Amino acid sequence: MPDVELDWGRLHYGEVGAGDPVLLISGLNGLTAPWRAVADALAPRFRVITHDHRGLGASGAWDGDYSVDQIAGDVLGLMDRLGLARAHLVGHSLGGAVAQAIAADHPDRVARLAIYASWPAHDPYFARVITARREALQVLGAEYFLRTGPIGIYPPRWIRDNDAALQAGLPLLLADFVGTPTMLRRMDACLAHERRSSLPRIKAATLVLGLD
What is the tens place of the pLDDT at every residue in 106-157? 999 999 999 999 999 989 988 998 999 999 999 999 999 999 988 877 888 9
Query: What band does 34 get if pLDDT is binned at 50, 70 and 90?
Result: confident
User: Stretch 16-43: mean pLDDT, rounded?
Assistant: 95
pLDDT value for 49 = 98
Q: Which amino acid is at 159?
A: I
Evaluate if residue 187 carries a pLDDT over 80: yes
> What distance in Å separates the CA atoms of residue 203 and residue 12, rounded to the nearest whole number?
29
φ, ψ of residue 19 in degrees (nearest 5):
130, -155
pLDDT value for 19 = 96
pLDDT value for 43 = 97
Evaluate if residue 212 carries a pLDDT over 80: no
Query: What band does 51 get if pLDDT is binned at 50, 70 and 90?
Result: very high
* Helix ranges restricted to H, the chain: 36-42, 68-81, 94-105, 124-140, 142-148, 156-176, 180-192
Mean per-residue pLDDT over the chain, rounded: 94
**pTM for this prediction:** 0.92
pLDDT value for 120 = 92
Count Cβ atoms below 10 Å from residue 116 Cβ, excluding itself: 17
Evaluate if residue 165 carries a pLDDT over 70: yes
Angle at 113 (CA atoms; ends 12, 207), nearest 5 degrees: 130
